[in-house]
Structure formats: structure tokens, C-alpha cells
């Protein structure tokens, strides 16, 4: 009975966190379809419109590590409550912006809120999850995240059509406040009091030993290239390739994105099963190789059928990369450095997300579209191979053993 009650309490914390994640990500999804139109109304160029996305991601990149340090020092709840509040402030400010400069400033604030909440949520998940079910907990939260992102844009479009382009930002502001209140009342602190031996500040040498170790450098490279593939290949090159080579319009491209988006939701659970039963290494290597293969198929064969097949393979790779890398990072860092580890891991992904689209876009213009695809494929495959070799070289049993 005691074991049953413990599991029920664990499940309640997981479901409460997932609902908070759903609210936060649905809120961010609400502004997706209207943000470029809203920014364009200030009379700026397309490049400046793109900055509204860049500054949001840049804020996350800059603040992931500080968020992790805050979690290690002051606890997880400050991020789970403070993150949505910061997001709310940024969204309300964006809705009332009267020029592009103020809009960019408030988008940075909203990005800071995203960095705080998402870092805090991942650390919290690792805290509450039994070691043998960490991948499952992370996958469940990613499912909630994906559903929120999928549903948000539809709501945002309807709100904008009825009440104007600024209205979705105000809606998200309200959702952010509601999420903060919900987290404050339903999510207890999980940072346990430190023992006397843990009170001392971690030495720089201890942190360097982990951060510069082969396994962490390899998983950071894997994460960066996977996010580069999601943002630079799938979100940037794939639509341009479909338009330029296949002469597809928004309808056909959107259908492929819908199919692969739904597919991503259903790749999480096989990836979780494989992580728990086969170990992290096979899943991480598979995700990198599959993503690379998908990019090569898209670049090499210019027919509609193979374009769809390539996107399916690509999604199989990027989708299965969800739970395993974060669970692996949790094993590399001791509990008192868990926030720092997650912050560094998330920053590695955001580096790929920020640099991938412009770098691959530039390569497609200066060389060719297939060259950009193949370059991305080579990088993500190299990352997977490096991870495999690095963990083997370091005799890292964590990476390869099944979870019991």
C-alpha cells in the first residue's frame, strides 16, 4: 500500500507539471501565426521581422545556464513560478508595443521566461522520476509540450481574426499568470536540503572535469546538431526545397508538416521503451543516423514520393532524440549540479537552433540546396558516431546498459 501511495504521489506531480507545461507551450503557440504579421505592421523589413524569433531564442541561449544555477541554489519552484510570470510580462509588453524596438525588448523578456520555466521543468522532472523511469517522465512532458504547441496556433489565429493582432499576446499574458498561480499551489519544492558534505560550493575543477569530459561534449554536439536539423533543415530548407524543386504550395508543404508533426508525438513512446530496455547509446546513435539519412534522401532524389519518405525518416530521427539525451545528462552530473548540467544541455540545443537556420540558409545560397542538406546530414551523423565512440572509449556503462 505504501508503494502504491508513493507511485500515486509521483504520478500526480508528473501530471501537474505536464499540465503546467501544456499551458505554457499552448500560450507560446498562440502567438506563432500572428507574430510576423504583427511585427510587419511596424513597417520593417523581413529580416527585422525574423529578429522577433531570434531574440526570443537568444534570451534562452543566454539564460539557460543562469536558470540552472538558480535552481541549484534556490530551488526549482522559483523557476516554475517565475518563468511564466516573466513570459506573461513579456507578452503583455509585446501586445502594447508601439515600435519594433520595444517589441524586440519584450520578446527578449518572454524568451527569458521560457528559459526559466523549461529549465526548471526538466530539472523538476529528473528530481521526481525514479532513475529507471526518467526517460518516460521526460517523454510524457514532451508530449504535453508538443500538444500545446500544436493547438496554440489555431487558437491564436481565431483570436487575432476576431480581436486584432495584439489580442493573442494579451491572451498569452493571462495564460502565463494562470500557469504561475497553478504551479505555485500545485508543485512542491523538490530540491532537498544539502548535507554538511554538500554545502561547499562545487570546485571549478569538478565542473570542468564533467563539462570537458568526452561523454558530455559528445552529447552536447548531438543535441546541437539535432536542434540544428529541426530548425535549419526541417523548418527552413525543407519548405524552400519543396517550393523550388517540386513547385509545391503552402497546402502541400503544410500537409507534410502535419503528418510529420503527428508522427513526432508517436515516436516518443518507442524511443522511451528503447531507452529503458536497450540503453541510451543505441537510441541516440539511431536518432542521429536516421536524421542524417533523411536529409540525404531529400537532397538526392527530387520526386514527391521520396521527398515525403525523406521527411518521414528525418522525423523518425529527430523525434526519437527526445527523452534519451536529457536522461543521459542527468546521469553525468551529481544532484547538487543538476541545474547547471541541464542548463548547459539546453544551451547546446539552443546554439544549434539559433545558428542552424542562418548558416544552412547561407550555404544553400552560396553553394546549393543539396549541399546544405548534406552538410547538415554529415554533422548530425558525425555527432552520433562521436557519441558512440566517446562513450565506449570512456567505458561509460551508463550510456549502454538497460535501465533496471
Rounded to a whole number, what is the largest CA-CA distance in the chain?
66
- Answer yes or no: is 198 within a domain: no
Per-residue pLDDT at 336: 84
Same domain for 165 and 290? no
Per-residue pLDDT at 134: 86
Per-residue pLDDT at 49: 73
- Answer yes or no: is 136 within a domain: yes
Binned at pLDDT 50, 70 and 90, residue 63 comes out as very high
Same domain for 262 and 307? yes
pTM of the model: 0.83
Q: Rounded mean pLDDT of 117-137?
A: 89
CB 350 within 8 A of CB 119: no
CATH code, domain with 351: 1.20.1250.20
Of 254 and 377, the one with more pLDDT:
377
Same domain for 321 and 384? yes
State pLDDT tens for residues 46-61.
667 767 777 888 898 9
Per-residue pLDDT at 195: 62
- Answer yes or no: is 200 within a domain: no
Domain end call among 162, 188, 214: 188
Domain end call among 188, 221, 242: 188
Phi-psi category of residue 164: left, alpha or beta, with phi > 0 → left and psi -120 to 50 → alpha? left
| Residue the block writes with cell 540525404 | 296
Domain end call among 188, 217, 238: 188
Q: What is the CA radius of gyration of the chain?
A: 21
Same domain for 96 and 173? yes
State pLDDT tens for residues 257-285.
778 877 888 888 888 898 888 888 899 99
- Answer yes or no: is 161 within a domain: yes
- Domain assignment of residue 295, given as a range: 205-400
Same domain for 339 and 239? yes
State pLDDT tens for residues 353-399.
888 888 888 888 888 888 989 999 999 999 999 998 888 765 554 54
Of 33 and 344, the one with more pLDDT:
344
* 3-class secondary-structure state, position 10: helix
Same domain for 220 and 284? yes
Same domain for 130 and 220? no
Q: Which three cell numbers stand for residue 203?
A: 570546485
What is the total count of domains within the chain? 2
Q: Rounded mean pLDDT of 237-260?
A: 79
- Answer yes or no: is 2 within a domain: no
Q: Which three cell numbers stand for residue 229?
A: 536539423
Same domain for 234 and 154? no
Burial of 182 (0-12, 13-18, 19+ CB in 10 A): middle
Handedness of CA 91, 93, 99, 105 (dihedral sign): negative
Cα three-residue angle 129-131-136, rounded to 5 degrees: 60
Same domain for 117 and 229? no
State pLDDT tens for residues 188-233.
888 877 665 555 566 677 788 888 888 899 999 999 999 888 878 8
φ, ψ (nearest 5 deg) of residue 112: -65, -40
Same domain for 256 and 305? yes
Least reliable range by pLDDT among 95-109, 129-143, 262-276, 390-404: 390-404
Per-residue pLDDT at 403: 47
Of 226 and 255, the one with more pLDDT:
226
DSSP 201: P
- Answer yes or no: is 268 within a domain: yes
CB 87 within 8 A of CB 176: yes
Same domain for 316 and 394? yes
Binned at pLDDT 50, 70 and 90, residue 240 comes out as confident
Share of the chain above pLDDT 90, in %: 28
Q: Which three cell numbers stand for residue 128?
A: 521526481
Per-residue pLDDT at 194: 66
- Answer yes or no: is 175 within a domain: yes
Same domain for 92 and 162? yes
Q: Rounded mean pLDDT of 14-38?
A: 79
- Answer yes or no: is 196 within a domain: no
Amino acid at each position: 500500500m505504501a508503494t502504491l501511495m508513493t507511485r500515486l504521489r509521483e504520478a500526480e506531480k508528473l501530471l501537474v507539471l505536464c499540465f503546467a507545461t501544456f499551458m505554457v507551450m499552448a500560450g507560446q503557440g498562440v502567438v506563432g501565426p500572428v507574430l510576423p504579421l504583427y511585427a510587419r505592421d511596424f513597417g520593417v523589413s523581413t529580416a527585422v521581422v525574423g529578429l522577433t524569433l531570434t531574440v526570443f531564442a537568444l534570451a534562452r541561449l543566454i539564460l539557460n545556464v543562469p536558470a540552472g544555477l538558480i535552481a541549484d541554489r534556490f530551488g526549482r519552484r522559483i523557476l516554475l513560478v517565475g518563468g511564466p510570470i516573466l513570459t506573461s510580462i513579456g507578452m503583455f509588453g509585446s501586445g502594447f508595443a508601439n515600435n519594433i524596438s520595444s517589441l524586440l525588448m519584450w520578446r527578449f523578456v518572454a524568451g527569458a521566461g521560457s528559459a526559466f520555466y523549461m529549465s526548471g521543468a526538466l530539472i523538476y522532472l529528473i528530481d521526481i522520476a525514479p532513475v529507471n523511469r526518467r526517460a518516460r517522465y521526460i517523454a510524457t512532458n514532451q508530449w504535453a509540450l508538443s500538444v500545446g504547441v500544436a493547438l496554440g496556433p489555431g487558437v491564436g489565429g481565431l483570436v487575432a481574426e476576431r480581436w486584432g493582432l495584439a489580442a493573442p499576446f494579451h491572451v498569452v499574458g493571462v495564460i502565463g499568470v494562470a500557469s504561475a498561480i497553478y504551479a505555485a499551489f500545485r508543485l512542491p519544492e523538490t530540491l532537498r536540503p544539502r548535507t554538511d558534505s554538500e554545502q561547499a560550493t562545487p570546485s571549478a575543477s569538478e565542473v570542468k572535469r564533467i563539462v570537458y569530459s568526452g561523454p558530455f561534449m559528445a552529447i552536447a554536439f548531438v543535441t546541437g546538431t539535432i536542434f540544428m536539423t529541426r530548425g535549419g533543415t526541417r523548418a527552413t530548407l525543407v519548405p524552400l526545397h519543396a517550393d523550388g524543386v517540386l513547385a509545391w504550395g503552402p497546402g502541400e508543404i503544410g500537409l507534410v508538416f502535419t503528418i510529420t508533426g503527428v508522427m513526432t508525438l508517436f515516436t516518443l513512446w518507442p524511443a522511451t521503451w528503447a531507452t529503458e530496455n536497450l540503453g541510451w547509446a543505441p537510441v541516440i546513435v539511431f536518432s542521429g543516423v536516421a536524421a542524417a539519412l533523411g536529409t540525404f534522401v531529400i537532397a538526392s532524389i527530387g520526386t514527391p514520393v521520396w521527398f515525403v519518405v525523406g521527411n518521414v525518416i528525418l522525423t523518425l530521427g529527430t523525434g526519437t532524440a527526445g527523452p534519451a539525451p536529457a536522461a543521459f545528462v542527468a546521469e553525468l552530473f551529481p544532484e547538487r549540479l543538476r541545474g547547471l548540467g541541464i542548463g548547459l544541455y539546453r544551451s547546446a540545443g539552443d546554439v544549434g537552433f539559433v545558428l542552424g537556420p542562418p548558416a544552412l540558409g547561407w550555404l544553400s545560397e552560396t553553394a546549393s540546396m543539396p549541399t546544405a542538406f548534406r552538410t547538415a546530414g554529415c554533422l548530425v551523423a558525425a555527432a552520433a558516431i562521436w557519441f558512440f565512440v566517446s562513450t565506449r572509449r570512456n567505458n561509460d556503462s551508463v550510456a549502454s546498459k538497460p535501465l533496471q
